[in-house]
């Protein structure tokens, strides 16, 4: 079965990184949440049966969450797409 994978970089409001981290870890499609350095605070790995389902989770559950200031979504290109 083909799965769709993505990474979402999240910039959080000061003082809310830990709360967002804990909330995201409990989401079913989220495979991992890690604290990172640089312009973003968290990196989230997601996996789903379809791109539409994955994007719905990002748009409904991640982007509008309290304390999320900015996101950058990177969809993983399947190996077979490389030719």
pLDDT in tens, 12-52: 999 999 999 999 998 889 999 999 999 999 999 999 999 99
Is residue 83 in some structural domain? no
pLDDT at position 81 is 75
Residue 28 lies in a domain: yes
Domain contains 32? yes
Q: State the pLDDT at residue 1.
A: 59
Res. 2 pLDDT band, cuts 50 70 90? confident
What is the domain range of residue 51? 4-76
The per-residue DSSP string of 37-66 comes to -SS-SEEEEEEES-HHHHHHHIIIIITTST
Q: What is the pTM of this model?
A: 0.91
> Does residue 66 fall inside a structural domain?
yes
Domain of residue 70, CATH code: 3.30.70.920
């Amino acid at each position: 079965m083909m799965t769709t994978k993505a990474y979402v970089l999240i910039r959080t409001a000061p003082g809310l990184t830990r709360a967002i981290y804990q909330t995201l870890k409990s989401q079913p499609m989220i495979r991992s949440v890690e604290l990172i350095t640089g312009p973003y605070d968290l990196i989230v790995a997601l996996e789903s049966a379809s791109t539409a389902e994955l994007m719905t989770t990002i748009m409904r559950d991640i982007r509008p969450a309290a304390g999320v200031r900015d996101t950058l979504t990177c969809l993983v290109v399947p190996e077979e797409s490389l030719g």
